[in-house]
Amino acid sequence: MMVEVYAASVNPLDAKIRSGEFKLILPYSLPLILGNDLAGVVVQVGSKVRRFKLGDEVYARPAQDRIGTFAEFIAINEADVAMKPQNVTMEEAASLPLVALTAWQGLVERAGLKKGQKVLIHAGSGGVGTMAIQLAKHIGAHVATTTSTANVDLVKKLGADVVVDYKKDDFDKVLQGYDVVLNSLGKDTLEKSLRVLKPGGKLISISGPPDPTFARENGSGWLLQQVMGLLSYGIRRKSRRRGVSYSFLFMKANGEQLGQITSLVETGAVRPVMDKVFPFENINEALAYVEAGRVKGKVVISVK
pLDDT in tens, 220-259: 889 888 999 998 999 999 999 999 999 999 999 999 999 9
**Whether residue 282 is found in the same domain as residue 158:** no
Residue 243 domain-assigned? yes
Average pLDDT, the chain: 96
Distance of alpha carbon 79 from alpha carbon 21, whole angstroms: 28
- Per-residue pLDDT tens for 204-220? 999 989 999 998 888 88
Residue 258 domain-assigned? no
Instruction: Judge if the upstream peptide bond of residue 210 is cis by omega within 30 degrees of 0.
Output: no
Residue 171: predicted pLDDT: 97
**Whether residue 156 is found in the same domain as residue 216:** yes
Expressed as residue numbers, the domain containing 34 is: 2-96+272-302
- Number of domain units in the chain: 2
**Whether residue 72 is found in the same domain as residue 193:** no
Residue 22 has pLDDT above 90, yes or no: no
Residue 189 has pLDDT above 90, yes or no: yes
Query: What pairing do the DSSP bridges indicate for beta strands 118-121 and 142-147?
Result: parallel
Residue 221: predicted pLDDT: 87
| Surface-to-core class of residue 234, CB atoms within 10 Å of its CB (0-12 exposed, 13-18 middle, 19+ buried) | middle
Domain CATH number, residue 190: 3.40.50.720
Residue 255: predicted pLDDT: 98
Residue 232 domain-assigned? yes
Residue 264 domain-assigned? no
Residue 5 has pLDDT above 90, yes or no: yes
**Whether residue 110 is found in the same domain as residue 219:** yes
Residue 159 has pLDDT above 90, yes or no: yes
Residue 30: predicted pLDDT: 85
Residue 298: predicted pLDDT: 98
Residue 288 has pLDDT above 90, yes or no: yes
Cα Rg of the chain, angstroms: 19
Residue 238 domain-assigned? yes
**Whether residue 82 is found in the same domain as residue 115:** no
Residue 220: predicted pLDDT: 84
Domain CATH number, residue 79: 3.90.180.10
Residue 85 has pLDDT above 90, yes or no: yes
Residue 25: predicted pLDDT: 86
Residue 207 domain-assigned? yes
Residue 62 has pLDDT above 90, yes or no: yes
Residue 53 has pLDDT above 90, yes or no: yes
Longest dimension (CA), the chain: 58
pLDDT average, residue stretch 56-80: 97
**Residue type for position 6:** Y
Residue 294 has pLDDT above 90, yes or no: no
Query: What does the chain look like in DSSP terms, one character per residue?
Result: -EEEEEEEEE-HHHHHHHHTTTTTT--PPSS------EEEEEEE--TT--S--TT-EEEE---TTS---SSSEEE--GGGEEEPPTTS-HHHHHTSHHHHHHHHIIIIIIS---TT-EEEESSTTSHHHHHHHHHHHHHT-EEEEEE-GGGHHHHHHHT-SEEEETTT--HHHH---EEEEEE-S-HHHHHHHTTTEEEEEEEEESS----HHHHHHTT--HHHHHHHHHHTHHHHHHHHHTT-EEEE------HHHHHHHHHHHHHTSS---EEEEEEGGGHHHHHHHHHTT--SSEEEEE--
**Whether residue 9 is found in the same domain as residue 84:** yes
Residue 276 has pLDDT above 90, yes or no: yes
Residue 178 domain-assigned? yes
**Whether residue 77 is found in the same domain as residue 195:** no
Residue 24: predicted pLDDT: 84
- Would the CA dihedral through 147, 151, 156, 159 be positive or negative? negative
**Whether residue 117 is found in the same domain as residue 164:** yes
Instruction: Judge if the upstream peptide bond of residue 62 is cis by omega within 30 degrees of 0.
Output: no
**Whether residue 121 is found in the same domain as residue 145:** yes
**Whether residue 282 is found in the same domain as residue 177:** no
pLDDT average, residue stretch 105-123: 98
Residue 254 domain-assigned? no
**Whether residue 106 is found in the same domain as residue 86:** no
Terminal CA-to-CA distance of the chain, rounded, Å?
19
Beta-bridged to residue 60, according to DSSP, are 38, 81
**Whether residue 115 is found in the same domain as residue 206:** yes
Distance of alpha carbon 123 from alpha carbon 143, whole angstroms: 13
Residue 195 has pLDDT above 90, yes or no: yes
Cβ neighbours of residue 225 closer than 8 Å, sequence gap 6 or more: 212, 215, 216
User: Which band of pLDDT confidence, cut at 50, 70 and 90, is reported for residue 267?
Assistant: very high
Name the nearest CA neighbour of 41 among 7, 88, 92, 77. Answer: 7
Residue 23 has pLDDT above 90, yes or no: no
pLDDT average, residue stretch 37-53: 97
